[in-house]
Amino acid sequence: MEEKQQEETIDLDKVYNYNEYPDKKSGRCDNCDSAFFKNSIKGGVFLRECRQCGMKKSI
């Protein structure tokens, strides 16, 4: 039997919640494995955006 691997597609326009989608590798982007982020705080929410691909997570 063949194993079906469900490949996750990451929507770069969506802001992911860290509690629901923790990092696969700690401190690295899940999409491109980069460790460089832009950080901002707005309305009491810490937002982390990857500088290379633009993936966003609220932490």
* Domain boundary assignment for the chain: 15-22+31-58
Longest dimension (CA), the chain: 50
Strand ranges (E), the chain:
15-17, 37-42, 45-50, 56-58
Reported as a single tens digit per residue, the pLDDT across 7-56 is 568 899 999 999 999 999 999 999 999 999 999 998 999 999 999 999 99
For the cut 50, the answer to whether the pLDDT of residue 1 exceeds it is no
